[in-house]
Structure 1
C-alpha cells in the first residue's frame, strides 16, 4: 500500500505540496513552543559572585502547586542570619558565609545619578570569599564609611583607591572612601557590579540585620559538592525554614532572581500558548488535507467502483498522509529552533527575558512536535476520507461529479451547536461568572465559533452568493460562470474561506482586546491619580524616611507613599486548588482620597490596616471573594497570610489588582523602598513645586513629576504584558496567513483542467480571469464577514471579563485595515494562482488533469 501511496504522491504533487507546507510550518511553530518550555525547565546562567562556593543555600523562591508548574515569588526569599551557625556545624563544611545584597546607585558630586551599564549591588566584606574576589589594591573596609569596589566598576567611573564615592540606597546617600579594589572572580562580572562594606554597615543598609540574602558554603578539601548539599538539606530539614540548596549551574537561579522568574514566565507562556498553537495547527492541517482529498474525490470513487474496500481507501490515504506529514514534520523542526530564538530575542527586547538568557536546544521538542503533527495529520486524513470511503461506489461516483446539494444533518447540527456554545461561552459566561474563568471562556470561544463556521461553511458561501448574485449578473459571461461555479462548488469555496476567516477573526479579536484594555487602563490611571505631584526615583527607589521629609515641606497637605510588588492569591477553582499571581500595591489609607481614587465599589479603604486587603473586582471575581471574606495569600517573599477583604474597587487595570496596607507589603519586599510618593498641596500649590524641586536637587535620584506623567508611566507593566501576548499571537497569526495563501493557491491551481475546458469551448483567457476575479470576491466577502461575526462575541466577552463594559473600545481603522488586508491577501493569492494555471495550453491542461 505504501508503494501505491508513494506513486500517488509523486503524480499528484499539487495537493500534497500544500499539505506539506501546512505541516512543515505547523511543526516549526509547535517545536518553537517546546523549545521555550524546555528552556524554562532547564536553562540558566552560570553564577558570578557565588561561583567559588561548593554549595549555596537560599530561600525557596517557588511555591509548590500540585498538578501544575510551581510559580516564582517576585521578591527575594531571605534566610535567618543565625542559619549560618547551623550550617557551619555540618561535616565537610569549611566556612559558611552569609551574604547580604543591597541595590545601590552611584551619584556624582552634584548629586546626579551616574548611568551604569549594569546593576550595582552592595555586600558585606566577608561574602567576597564566596566568589572569590581577590584584593588587587588597598585594603578591606574597616570603618562604616569605607568601601571596596570591583576593579572594572572603578575603571568605568574614574574612581581609585583614596577617591570619595557617593553611594545611594533609595534616596539616602552616603559618601564613602574607596579603600581598595578587588579583581573579579575567574568568570568575571557580566551581569552586575559590586561594592563591599563592613559586614555591620551592609546589615544596616539592608534594613534587615536579622536576615541574609543567601548562605555560601566553602567545603573542606576532598568533600564533594553533591554529598555536602545532601547533608546540608538533611541538617536544615527540621528548621522550619523553606530553603533551596543549590550546586553547579543551578546557583545562577539563586544569585539572579530575574533568571528564575524568566524561566517561570517561559513555562507559563509556552504551556498556555503551546496548547492553542497545537489546536490551530491541527485545525489548519485538517482544512488543507480535507481540501486535497476533496479534489481527488473522483479518483477515490473510481477505486471504490473497482472493488476497493473502505479499509483500503483509508490505508491508501493514511499512507499518503504519513509520507507527506512525516517528512514535513521532521524537516519543520529545524526552523522551529530558529523561530524559538527569534521569540527569545523579541521577549528580551520587551524586557521580560534577560538579554543573556540562553535557550536549551534539547531534542525532545523536535520529537514531540513531529509526533504530534503526524498524529494530527493522520487523524485529519481519516476524517476527510470518511464519507468517500463509507458510501456506496455508485453514489461515490455520482458525488465525484456533482457535489451533494445539502450538508448532512449531523454536520449541520454539530456546527449549529458549536456556534451556540461559542456565543454562550463568549458573552453569557462573563455575565454570569466574573474574573479569569470568564476571560478564558471568552478567549476559548473563538475556536468553537471557528469550527462551527467551518462545518457550516458551504451554507455561508451560498448565503453570500445569494446576496452578491445581482452584482455578479452584471457581467453576462464571466458573472454567469462565476455564479454557476460558486453555487455548484460551495464546498470547495468554503475550504478557501475557512483559513481566511480564521486569520481575520484572530487578528480582530487580538487587536480589539488589546485596545480595549489599554484604553481602559489609561483612563483609570489618568483619572485615578488625584495628587498634584508624584515623586519617583531614577535609582533603586525612594527611602521610606522621605515621606516624613516631604510632609514637612511648606504647602504640602498630604503625602501618600506607594510600594509595589506581586502577590499570589490562592483559591478554589471548581474542585482544584489554584494559585495566581497578581500585581499589588501598598498604601497608607490616611487621607488617601486626596491622592488616589481606586473607584471603590464595596466596603471602604479606611479599614485598610493590619491584616486586611482590598481587591479589584477582577481579582475578587476570580477568587470568589467579597467584603468580609478571608483571602489566602502569599506575599512577595513567600510569606503566607490570611487577610480580611475590606474593599472591592474598579481601577485594577490602572493600579494593580491587590491593595495592601503599606507597612504589610513594604516589610515583604526585597529592597523595602517605596516606588512613589503621591503629594497633594494643602491649598494653592504655587509654592509647593519650587520647594519640591529644591528638595529633589539636594536628594540624589529624586524626581518630581506631574500626575499625568505618572499616570502614563503606570502603563509600563500593562503594555509589557500586552506586547507579550501580541508577540506570541502574532507568530500564530503568521502561520495562519501562510496557511491562507497555501490553501487558496492549492484550490485555484487544482482547477487547471476546468480552465482548459472553458477555453476549449470558446471562453477567452480574459473571461476566465474575470470569472475567477468575481469568484475571489465571493470567497473574500464570505471570509471577511464570517471573520468579523466570529470575532465580535469573543471581543465583547473579553471586554466584559476585563473591564465590566459590554461595548469594547474599537478602532474603526484597525477593523478596516484587517478586513482590507485579508481581502488583498485573498485576492492576490487567487489571482496569481489563476494566472499560473492559465499558462499551459488548454489541451494539455485538460488531458493532464492538473
Structure 2
C-alpha cells in the first residue's frame, strides 16, 4: 500500500505539495511554541556576581498557591536579617555572606548596563579581585570596576533615588565576567544604609561538602529557597525568574491555540486535496475497491506526507523560537540575553501532533467518499452536493451562537478578567462555526455579488456559475483568509482600544501641572518634601508603582490575578489625580485599605466594605478593606493602596513619579541640578502603559500565527486554483478565450477577497465589542481606519495575486493536453 501511495503522490504533486507545505510550517510553529514553553520551565542565564558561591539562599520568588502555573512576585523577596547567622551554623557551610544591593547612577560617565552598589564583604562571591588600591573603610569611600574610567583618589558622585553623594575612589576591582551589570562597592554599613534589606546570602561550602546536600539542609532548617549550579543565576537576576514565569504562562496558552489552528489548516488543506480527487476515488469504488482499501490508501498517502513535512518542519522551528525570543526582548518582556533551552521534546510533540492531525483529517475527508455507493460517488464527483450534512449544520450554528454569547453577553454578565477571557476566546468558536458553514456563506456571498458580477457578461456569468457550483472548494480558500483577517483585526484593534482608553484616562485623570520622574532608579521620598516647599506649589503627590496579586474565587477553588498597582497619599490627590471614583472614597485610603478599579473589583467579586486578600510585590500577604472603586484603571493601574503600604514592600521604597500641582516649570527643571537624574515630563507620559506592553506581547505571539495563516492561505488558494487546469482547458476548447478565463478568475478572486473580508470583519467585531465592554465599559472599540484599510489591502493582494498566479500557471499548456491528462 505504501508503494501505491508513493506513486500516487508523485503523480499528483500539486495537491500533496500543498499539504506538505501546511504540515512543514505547522510543525515549525508548534516546535517554536514548545521551545518557548520548555525555556520557561528550565532556562536561565549564568551567574555573575555569585559565580564563586556554591549555594545562594533567597526568598521564595514564586506564588504557587493555586492549581495553575506559579506566578512570580514583581519585587525581590528579602531574606530575614537573622537568617545569615542561622545559615552559617548549618553543617557544611564555611561562610554565609549577605548581599545588599541597590541600583545607583554614576555621574562620571554613561553606562550601557545598570550599576548596583554592594557591601565590600560580598565582593568575594564573584569573586572581585583588587587590581589597585584597597578596600573601602570609611562611609565616603568606594571601590569601582576598571571600566568606570576613574583612578584612585578621584571623587565620584553616586545618586541613589536621584539624591547625590560623593565618594572617594580608594580601589579598583575586577571580576571574571560582568555582562549584565556594573558594580560599586562601599562599606557594609553604608550598603545597609542605602538598602535596608538583604537581597540574598551567598554560601561558601567547606571543602568536600556536597552543595546540593548543604542546600537541602538550609531549606529544611530555614524554609528559604536554596539555589545551586545554574539555578544561581535565577537568584542573582530577578528578571530571569520573571521571564521564565512569563514564558511558561504565555506558551502554555499559546501552544493550545497554535496546535488548534495548525490542525485546522492541515485538515482544511488535506480535505481539499482529497476532495479534488473525487473523480479518481469514485472510479476506484466503481471498479470494486472496498471502503477499507480506500481508507488504507489515503491513510498511507497522508502518513508519508505528514511524516516528511513534520520532520523537515521541526528543524526551522528551533530558529523560529530564537526569532520570537528576540521579538519579546525587543518589546521589553524578556531580557536580551535570555537563553533558550533546546531538546528534542518540542520537535517530538510537533511530529506527533502533525501526524495524528493529518491522519485524522485524511480519515474524515475520505470517510464520506469511501462509504458512498459507487454510482452516487461518480455523480458527486462531477457536481458538488448542494446540501450540508445535518450534524455539520447543527454544529456550525451552535458554535456561532456560542461564540456570539461568549463575545457579547459574557462580558456584560461576568465582570473583570472572566468577561475579558470569554470575549477573547469567542473568536475561535466563531471561526470553527464559520468553517463548518462555509459553503452556505459562500453561496450567500455569491448571491449578493451576482448582480454586479453579471455585468461582466461572459466572464461574470461564468464566475457566478462556478462560485455557486463549487461553494465547498471556495469556502476552503475563504475560511483561512477570513481567519487571518479576524485575528489581525482583533489583535490590532484590541491594542488601539486599550491605548486610546489608557491615553484618555491619563489625560483626564492627571490633573497635575507637571510630572517628575527619576527613571528606573526612582526618586527618594525627600524629593517630594522638597517640592512641597517650593514657591507656588499647591500639592505634590508621590506615586509608587508595583505589581500585586489579588485572590479571587473561580468555581470551587481560589485563583490569583496580577494587577498593576500604585501607592499614593490620598490627601494630595485633590489637584493632582482623578481616578474617577464610582463608589466609596479615596479619603479613607489609609492603613490596611485598598481601592480597586472596576476590572479588579469585578474579578475579585468585591464591593466597598469587603475584604480582599492581596499579595504585595515582595509576596507579603495582606487582607485589605476595599474603600473605593474607580473607573480609570487602564491609565493608573487596577489596584491603589496607601503609599507607605506599597513602598515598604518594594526593593527600594522610592517613588516612581511625583505629580505636581502649581509651581514654576523652570524652577522644577532646575531641581535636576540638585537631584541628578530627575526629569520633568508631560502629563500623558504618566500613563501606566501596562496594557500597551501586554497588547504588544499578544501582537508578537499571534504574529507568528498570522504569518502561518498567510502562508496557509496562499498555499490553499494556489492549490485550489491550480487544480482547475482541466476546467480552464474545457472552457477554452468550447470557445472561451484566455482573456475571458483570466477575467473570470479575477472576478472569482474578488468574491473570495470580499467574502473573506466581510466574514473576517464580522467575526472580529464580536470579540472586539466584548473586549471593549470588559476594558472600557463602552461597546464600540477604537478602530483605526488606516489599519483596517491596511488589513483589507493585504487581504486583496494575497487573494488576487495567489489566484491570478495559479490561474496563469494552469493555462500555460495546450488545452487538449490538459483535458487529456485528466488534471
Normalization by structure 1: what TM-score? 0.95
Separation in 1, partners of 2:760, 2:622: 47
Report how far residue 633 of structure 1 moved. 1.3
- The 8 Å contact of residues 333 and 366 in structure 1, kept in 2 or not, is answered as yes
Per-residue CA distance 1:244-289 (angstroms, 9 max, x = gap): 1011111001001111111111111111122111111111111111
Match of 1:668 among 627, 649, 661: 649
Corresponding residue SS for 1:477: helix
Contact 2:512 2:683 in 1 (8 A): no
Equivalent residue of 2:571, what SS? coil
Task: Please show how residues 58-77 of structure 1 align to structure 2 within 5 Å.
Answer: 58-77=58-77
Q: Quick one: which of 276, 281, 300 aligns to 2:281?
A: 300
The separation in 2 between residues aligned to 1:449 and 1:311, in whole angstroms, is 35
Q: For residues 199-598 of structure 1, what are the structure 2 equivalents within 5 Å?
A: 199-206=188-195, 208=196, 211-237=197-223, 243-538=224-519, 540-598=521-579
Q: Which deviations, in whole Å up to 9, do the C-alpha atoms of 1:431-469 show, x marking residues without a partner?
A: 111111211111111111111111111111111222222
Match of 2:786 in 1: 813
1:313 offset after TM fit, Å? Answer: 2.1
Report the Cα offset of residue 832 of structure 1: 0.6
Distance 1:447 1:777 in 2: 25
Instruction: Say if 2:61 is the partner of 1:56.
Output: no
2:674 aligned residue: 698
Q: Does 1:183 align with 2:174?
A: yes
Deviation at 1:514, TM superposition (A): 1.2
Q: 1:514 to 1:226 in 2, by over 3 A?
A: same
1:539–1:701 contact (8 Å) kept in structure 2: no
- In the TM superposition, residue 737 of structure 1 has moved relative to its aligned partner by 0.6
Q: Paired residue for 2:161?
A: 170
CA distance in 2, matches of 1:300, 1:347: 48
Equivalent pair of 2:494/2:695 in contact (CA under 8 Å) = no
* Residue of 719, 734, 752 corresponding to 1:761: 734
Whether the 8 Å contact between 1:526 and 1:712 is mirrored in structure 2 is: no
Q: Deviations over 1:683-702 (max 9, x none)?
A: xx5xx333323333222222
In 1: Cα distance, 2:556 partner to 2:15 partner = 47
Q: Contact (CA 8 Å) 1:167, 1:175: kept in 2 or not?
A: yes
Give yes or no for the alignment of 1:82 onto 2:58: no
1:691–1:712 distance in 2 versus 1, CA, 3 Å: closer
Instruction: Return the offset for 1:44.
Output: 1.0
Q: Which runs of 4+ in 1 moved over 4 A?
A: none
Greater shift in the superposed pair: 65-74 or 189-198? 65-74
Match of 1:47 in 2: 47
- Report the Cα offset of residue 820 of structure 1: 2.4
**SS of residue paired to 2:619:** coil
Shift of 1:384: 1.6
Specify the alignment match of 1:111 in structure 2. Answer: none
Secondary structure of 1:245's counterpart equals: strand
Cα gap change, 1:93/1:721 in structure 2, threshold over 3 Å: closer, same or farther? same
Instruction: Write the distance in 1 (CA, Å) between the matches of 2:479 and 2:642.
Output: 52
Please state whether the residue corresponding to 2:516 is helix, strand or coil. strand
Structure 1 pair 539/398, CA: closer, same or farther in 2 (3 Å)?
Answer: closer
The 3-state SS of whatever aligns with 1:590 is helix
C-alpha separation between the residues in 2 aligned to 1:382 and 1:578? 41
Identify which of 776, 782, 804 aligns with 2:777: 804
Shift of 1:592: 1.1
Tell me what 1:7 maps to.
Answer: 7
> Is residue 637–residue 688 contact of structure 2 (8 Å, CA) maintained in 1?
no
Give 2:152's aligned residue: 161
CA distance in 2, matches of 1:130, 1:468: 74
SS of match in other structure, 1:502: helix
For residues 68 and 101 of structure 2, what CA distance do their matches in structure 1 show?
Answer: 31
Question: 2:723 — aligned with what?
Answer: 750
Equivalent-residue separation in structure 2 for 1:790 and 1:570 (angstroms): 33
C-alpha distance in structure 2 between counterparts of 1:516 and 1:298, whole Å: 50
1:840 matched to which residue of 2? Answer: 813
CA distance in 2: counterparts of 1:539 and 1:786, whole angstroms: 46
Check whether the contact 2:146–2:174 (CA below 8 A) recurs between aligned residues. Answer: yes
Contact 1:522–1:712 (8 Å) recurs in 2: no
Deviation, 1:76, is: 0.7
Aligned to 1:115: 110
Does the 8 Å contact 2:597/2:638 carry over to 1?
Answer: yes
CA drift of 1:749 comes to 0.5
Question: Secondary structure of the equivalent of 1:476?
Answer: helix
Among candidates 795, 798, 811, match of residue 825 of structure 1: 798
- Distance in 2, matches of 1:573 and 1:145, equals 54
Report the CA distance between 1:713 and its aligned residue.
4.7
Q: Give CA deviations for 1:722-767 in whole Å, capped at 9, x if unaligned.
A: 2211111111111101111000000000011111112222222112
Work out which of the residue numbers 587, 594, 598 in structure 2 matches 1:617: 598
Q: Does 2:720 correspond to 1:720?
A: no
In structure 1, what is the Cα distance between the partners aligned to 2:686 and 2:365? 53
Alpha-carbon distance in 2 for matches of 1:813, 1:105: 43
Q: Separation in 2 of the partners of 1:830 and 1:566?
A: 50
Are the structure 2 counterparts of residues 756 and 105 from structure 1 closer, same or farther at C-alpha, using a change threshold of 3 Å? same
Secondary structure of the residue that 1:434 maps to in structure 2?
coil
Task: Give yes or no for the alignment of 1:146 onto 2:141.
Answer: yes
| Residues in 2 aligned to 1:617 and 1:34: alpha-carbon distance in whole angstroms | 36
**Partner Cα distance (1:383, 1:578) in 2:** 40
Cα drift, residue 816 of structure 1:
2.5
Please report how far the alpha carbon of residue 337 of structure 1 lies from its aligned counterpart in structure 2 after TM superposition: 0.8
For the Cα contact (< 8 Å) 2:143–2:185, is it kept in 1? yes
Conserved in 2, the CA contact under 8 Å of 1:105 and 1:539?
no
TM-score (norm 2): 0.98
User: What's the offset of the Cα at 1:302?
Assistant: 2.0
Tell me how far apart the structure 2 counterparts of residues 673 and 93 of structure 1 sit (CA, whole Å).
35
Partners of 2:597 and 2:629 within 8 A in 1: yes
Question: 1:43/1:410 Cα in 2 relative to 1: closer, same or farther (>3 Å)?
Answer: same
Q: Distance in 1 between matches of 2:392 and 2:90?
A: 70
In structure 2, distance between residues paired with 1:694 and 1:742:
62
**Alpha-carbon distance, 1:650 to partner:** 0.7
- Structure 2: distance between partners of 1:554 and 1:536: 20
Deviation at 1:715, TM superposition (A): 5.0
1:228-257 Cα shifts (integer Å, max 9, x gaps): 2122222224xxxxx210111110010011
Deviation of 1:372 (Å): 1.0
Q: Deviation of residue 405 (structure 1)?
A: 1.8
Q: Residues of 2 paired with 1:103 and 1:772: CA distance? A: 65
CA distance in structure 1 between the aligned counterparts of 2:431 and 2:187, rounded to whole angstroms:
65
- Distance (whole Å) between structure 1 residues aligned to residue 755 and residue 677 of structure 2: 59
Q: Any conservation in 1 of the 2:29–2:317 contact (CA below 8 Å)?
A: yes
Question: How far does residue 576 in structure 1 lie from its aligned partner after superposition?
Answer: 2.8
- Corresponding position: 1:774 with 2:747: yes
Q: Provide Cα deviations, 1:634-656, integer angstroms capped at 9, x if missing partner.
A: 10001111111111111111111
Q: Give 1:716 shift.
A: 4.1
For 1:628 and 1:309, the matched residues in 2 are separated by 73
Counterpart-to-counterpart distance in 2, 1:665 and 1:527: 25
Aligned to 2:124: 129
